[in-house]
Structure 1
Amino acid sequence: MRIPDEIRDQLSSKFGVLFPHLDERQRRLLMGTEARLLGHGGVRAVARAAQVSETTVRKGGHEVIVQSIAATTTRTGLRVTAELDTNTYPTGVRIADAEMAALPLTRHTFHGDWNYALHPQPSPSVPAARAPEPEWDQSLLSDPALTGMTCRQPTDLTATLAPEGDTQRGRPPRLTFPEQVLATVLHLRAALAAEPLAVLFGTSRTAMHRTLLKNRRLLEKHGISIPPATTPPTALATLQARVQTQIDAADKIKTTC
């Protein structure tokens, strides 16, 4: 977006008045704030108005963000320390769904897709021998011990949600709507996050996130509650073993490549 000339002229006048009274850091903060307020194209416009490099304006913008984060407080006394990481990192790195599923995450109740705690997981010096995985059967996903439902209830739930949930727009979904409902039940009942569910159902993490969000809204709209299991279902161990097997398979492919 091109910033109008009159805006740049106003900025030039403002900087001409204020800059003589500010030190170098205060000037950067002012320029960074103005650039953020202007949005797209703001860095270039501010740099031209102040007759400085765009790098200087960006640095000021970063300092504004860091200070805003560091100024966060709560009534219980939370204090935040923030600083800009100036290291360079490779871009375009992709994390496989199986790798994400293996992370020891505890998701928060509020927007668990974004808010979660990552727990340390020390690696043993000598890998423990793992018992052979039993032959995988996709029907295990609908085991009543996992879903907390009778064989008929998932079908009835699917029929209830289908008029609003089983709508196809654009590309057909990889999962059928009954599979989407089953994934949502496992998510709520067995506390399975989107990453392992994506591995188990053979879909992407992004698609699973969308599925869970859509169906949770539908359940809420219909006043349907799926309470979590009071104790982890025994069959959950089989699902975890299946996810681990898929992770190992993905690692072998990477090593071969």
Structure 2
Amino acid sequence: MPIRRVRAAGAGRKPLSVTDPGLLPALEALIEPHTRGDPVSPLRWTTLSLRALASTFTSQGHRVSAATVGRLLHSLGYSLQGTVKTSEGAGHPDRDAQFTHLNATATAFLNDRQPVISVDAKAKEWLGNRDRPGRTWRPGKDPIKVDCHTFTTSDQPVAIPYGIYDIANNTGWVNVGTDHDTAEFAVESIRRWWQHRGRVHHANATRLLITADAGGSNDPRRWTWKKHLAAFALESGLEITVCHFPPGTSKWNKIEHRMFCHITANWRGRPLTSYEVVIETIAATTTRTGLTIGAGLDTGSYRLGSTVTAAGFQALPITPDAFHGDWNYTLAPVPPRPPKALAAARRIAPALTEMLSNPALTGMPRPDFERLVAVSEPYWDALAEAAFQRRFHRPRSYLHPQTSSLDHYHRLLAALLRRRRAITSTLLAQLLGVTRTNLSNQFQDGHRLLDLHRIVVTPLPGSPARTHEQLRIRLPDENHQKDQP
């Protein structure tokens, strides 16, 4: 049967892409990535909605509707898309090696039937009739009514979930705190898991492996974290090994995608109005693979700002691993070692000190220099500690030769003589009985202290003294050795 046509073939109104040949190129120029598109486009800093695109086209002389813009975009292969988290930033050079070490350690523990747990703190949850993301099934037109405004006050109750995931048994425990997320709270959460679940499921355990990220309350640089872990090791009798994930890789922590994600899904669309709701919804979280989670409320008080002295930290029974001891270490279940006495500073002959501190060399009367030494010593310790941690990513040992070979008086004196160009580093190190490298390591902080206290130093004319004879020439006669008023 012949097809009856109303119009002849090719008749009718032509598409805009035909009647306006510049329409498609103009559309692509507007929505191209900014690195290739027009840098002065009016849509550079706005949402590329269909109405915004149509309005811009109209102002450029292309009369087009929002619906037509949508059809043209689909014909060009464009679609609505969100962002994808793929860029992780600069990775640590030992990232892959640390993952290999962590996996090998976990495998060895599991093969020996020793417990391996993954720990982390979940985001804080403010309690109240507050809006929650997600949706849940409800009778038609009967949503849960929540507050329009969710301001946070100083007395607003907060839930701090700290989770422990047992990798071998696919079980978990969440300690819900009510105070602060501190290192003491983190270790207390592990202790409560051991009391409620761990020692039941691992009755013959002698060791424990903890895998954690490298931040928050379980930061490997926190002395308090290691102090409380050592106390738990002594209390439980377990040898505790800790392996931290490299910085920026916490999403690979198993607790994130094996336990926390299911708790978040169970909370969707449900206001957390009380601690009971938090505890019950966590305990009711299960999966088809057999995950079970226990939960308990921790009403303990955990004070912020607690510290550990250097001597106390040095006494902890910690054994750093041969590979990245700042990320991998073991705490033995033994009492802390007796604190070692601080190494005595190198004894320097009083006559040498008298000569080097002569105002002719330092440019300062002795009383002024001694006053500078007294007020700058706390700053020196703070600068040295910060510099050491930036370099080695671990707390400084106060028995290290760089910090114990000279006392603060002679360290600052050496920096001042260096800035005065009174003596070479080689000769000064020889006189003080240290190596030149040891002495050079302390010049930088010494110069910072001089700048901090606004000490104006005028270099001596000529070259620095290279020998004892040249140094004596710079000193006044013995009759003028006394300080001038």
Q: Return the TM-score normalized by structure 2.
A: 0.20
Larger helix share, 1 or 2: 1
Structure with more contact order per residue of length (Cα contacts < 8 Å, sep ≥ 6) = 1
Which protein is bigger by CA-based radius of gyration? 2
Q: Return the TM-score normalized by structure 1.
A: 0.36
Larger strand share, 1 or 2: 2
